Structure 1
Amino acid sequence: MNRLFGSLLVLVLMISCKKSNGDGGTPNPPVTTDTLVKGADVSWVTEMEASGRKFYNSAGTQMECMALLKSLGVNTIRLRVWVNPTSSWNNAADVVAKAIRAKNLGLRIMIDFHYSDTWADPGHQTKPAAWASLDFAGLKTALATHTTDVLNQLKTAGVTPEWVQVGNETNDGMLWPDGKASTNMSNFAQLVNAGYDAVKGVFPSAKVIVHISNGYDNSLFRWMFDGLKTNGAKYDVIGMSLYPSTSNWSTYNTQCLTNMNDMVSRYGKEVMVVEVGMPWDSPTVCNSFLSDLIKSVPNKKALGILYWEPEAYNNWNGYTLGAFDNSGKPTVALNAFSN
């Protein structure tokens, strides 16, 4: 991309971020909702910017991160939410600020509730400190109240998310031990339903995602979603993570696509790969991985894929699976989104 085009994108971003709806300015870019999701979770972006990190296109022109990703074919931004983090990053105010930026660029938006003060993943589903002493009924109320509050803040800011995750990589449920699926699938289903009802109460058209990792593992997905079905869980989309190595990505893709087809036929739900990643210093292999996955999505119920924190570079927070090099430029891995 040439320098002039990069500069124009920055100018457009500056103008759009200064205006608000109804002020007579140039309308925000329209959001396209009928195309394949090609997205990125960029939840670190404000923290990176505050530390002085900058982002550059392939010609070396500095650009705002989301505008740069959009120029590379990204059409969706995913943002994680923590309840009461020790720092301000990923709290409601930080999420709203980032979501406004995405909205002003015409990007589609996914909100990812972790229901924790920090990372929630297959090995960690720690209750927020403020919820630690609540009984199960209190946990459901707290989850619903938190979900409603954050989404109402987004609504007030003029942001309408297209998807909302109720939990992050909930391979064994969330809000342990109460909502641990292997111990009490009914409790987990009730927590999912509390989140689902809260989402629909603010954004009736938003699609609710239940997300677990290891998208290649069909037995894990059948165990989880059979259990949720038996216990009356309500959701719209099955989300999955996929983090292959440089040597097994082809096998993982094949297994993941088989699993996606099975989820569609078994449960009648849409599916989406909401997290992918590969070592930043293997960009050509990562491009092949992404290109193969994008072109092979099985049917219209497979919504697309999102890269997890591609903008992370120079070993940011110890993370090495981004898609930018150590000079702050995107690697060829992300060309898969524009090809």
Structure 2
Amino acid sequence: MKNLKDKFYFIATIALFFTSCNSQMPADQNLMPTPTVSTFAKGADVGWLPQMEATGYKFYNTDGSQKDCLQLLKDRGINTIRLRVWVNPSNDKASGHCSKEETVVMAVRAKKLGMRIMIDFHYSDTWADPAKQAKPAAWANHSFSELLNDVYNHTFDVLSALKTAGVTPEWVQVGNEIPGGMLWPEGNTSNWSQLAQLLNKGYDATKTINPNIKVIVHVDEGNNNAKFRWFFDNAKANNVKYDVIGLSYYPYWIKKDYKETVADLEFNLKDMASRYNKEVMVVEVGGEYDKVQNTFDMLVATIKAVKNVPNNKGLGVIYWEPQGEKSWSGYSLSAWQSDGKPSMALDAFKE
């Protein structure tokens, strides 16, 4: 610098430059942005957990010490919790609960452990799946236009309650296993135009809460490419709005070992991602509780299939009710032992 005047001019110019840069940025962007979560989702659907605990079921680590179930899952690499929501459920031990209030409590509990959250809307008072999509009793006599409002309001109400409790889910599922549609008969796939409107109401309510929440549309038999093409071709033709294609994969229910079908699963995952330019995710998977090695190997293969989807469009794998031990639930595809300890099959989720 030749003199103080030049030095002053230089400093003022630099200050003006940085002031100008900052003035062009929204106030909330002056700080470094929070990085987008890109970690592979390794999950567990644990809708039965509160009831299990309420009936006195105890969970144990491999060393025999009693431990919180969510912590046991986290110790095995699980980083995501999926929670189903029913509209006005009964108090039945295995086929009830999962109300808005219980869902909020579970979501808060999972978040405190650093878990990511997925909310699965069944739009029913009980199980919704390919064989049954019964409307909630309170909506039974509603017109189609009223059902559209019901879907929007219920979705918005539950997500608002979660937000108030400090939880914004990363994913929201609009409907559960809906190859035949939902809210029968109005939302059956025999009337795609109406089904599309119902799905879009769930999407709109979700995005109103937070536009960053990813909306999932979920179909069963993840190895069945023809079924998925039929469903999502119709979804596209009817302008269904969604972000992620969710798949179930249960070799047990299709009466084939995973070795016979996992290549078909991988092909379908890749085809869905490329054909519709969407992210994909196995949102339900399960193996036989008493065939530990086979279930472990199936999980390893499933995780690999999802990770093999190009461009990081394979988001994750979620085990359905791993903690739902058979003596309590009667369910044969848990990943828990009769002594209350996690099955070694869950080690497939460890890095």
After superposition, what is the alpha-carbon deviation per residue over 1:242-301, rounded to whole angstroms, capped at 9, x for unaligned?
001385202221111100000011000000000001110111110001011212322310
Could you state the TM-score of these two structures normalised by the residue count of structure 2? 0.86
Note the C-alpha offset of 1:86: 1.4
1:268 to 277, 280, 283: 277
After superposition, what is the alpha-carbon deviation per residue over 1:45-102, rounded to whole angstroms, capped at 9, x for unaligned?
0000000001111111111111110011000000000000012710000000000011
What secondary structure does 1:62 align onto? coil
1:204 aligned residue: 211
> What letter corresponds to residue 232 of structure 1 in structure 2?
N
Q: Within the alignment, does 1:250 sit opposite 2:254 as a pair?
A: no
Give the alignment of 1:98-117 within 5 angstroms.
98-117=106-125
1:69 to 45, 67, 73: 73
> What letter corresponds to residue 57 of structure 2 in structure 1?
R
More helix by share: 2
> What letter corresponds to residue 165 of structure 1 in structure 2?
Q
Give the alignment of 1:1-339 within 5 angstroms.
33-87=37-91, 89-181=97-189, 183-245=190-252, 248-297=257-306, 298-299=309-310, 300-339=312-351
> In the alignment, is the contact (CA less than 8 A) between 2:83 and 2:120 conserved in 1?
yes
Note the C-alpha offset of 1:320: 1.2
After superposition, what is the alpha-carbon deviation per residue over 1:129-172, rounded to whole angstroms, capped at 9, x for unaligned?
00011111100100100000000000000001000000000011
Note the C-alpha offset of 1:314: 3.3
Note the C-alpha offset of 1:305: 0.4
What secondary structure does 1:307 align onto? strand
Q: In the superposition, relative to structure 1, how do residues 179 and 34 fare at CA in structure 2: closer, same or farther (>3 Å)? A: same
Note the C-alpha offset of 1:33: 2.2
Mapped partners of 2:344, 2:201: distance in 1: 41
Note the C-alpha offset of 1:31: 11
Q: In the superposition, relative to structure 1, how do residues 324 and 31 fare at CA in structure 2: closer, same or farther (>3 Å)? A: farther
> What letter corresponds to residue 244 of structure 1 in structure 2?
P
> In the alignment, is the contact (CA less than 8 A) between 1:33 and 1:108 conserved in 2?
no
Note the residue ranges of structure 1 that are not aligned, 5 or more in a row. 1-29
> What letter corresponds to residue 186 of structure 2 in structure 1?
D
Note the residue ranges of structure 2 that are not aligned, 5 or more in a row. 1-33
Mapped partners of 1:314, 1:301: distance in 2: 34
Note the C-alpha offset of 1:317: 2.7
Note the C-alpha offset of 1:32: 8.4
> What letter corresponds to residue 250 of structure 2 in structure 1?
Y
After superposition, what is the alpha-carbon deviation per residue over 1:104-144, rounded to whole angstroms, capped at 9, x for unaligned?
00000000000000000000100000001111110010010
> In the alignment, is the contact (CA less than 8 A) between 2:326 and 2:334 conserved in 1?
no
Mapped partners of 1:279, 1:328: distance in 2: 16
> In the alignment, is the contact (CA less than 8 A) between 2:303 and 2:316 conserved in 1?
yes
What secondary structure does 2:216 align onto? strand
Mapped partners of 2:167, 2:313: distance in 1: 25
What secondary structure does 1:125 align onto? coil
What secondary structure does 2:130 align onto? coil
> In the alignment, is the contact (CA less than 8 A) between 1:31 and 1:107 conserved in 2?
no
Mapped partners of 1:330, 1:31: distance in 2: 33
Deviates more, 1:315-324 or 1:123-132: 315-324
Mapped partners of 2:305, 2:62: distance in 1: 28
> In the alignment, is the contact (CA less than 8 A) between 1:31 and 1:106 conserved in 2?
no
2:14 aligned residue: none
Deviates more, 1:97-106 or 1:59-68: 59-68
> What letter corresponds to residue 121 of structure 2 in structure 1?
F
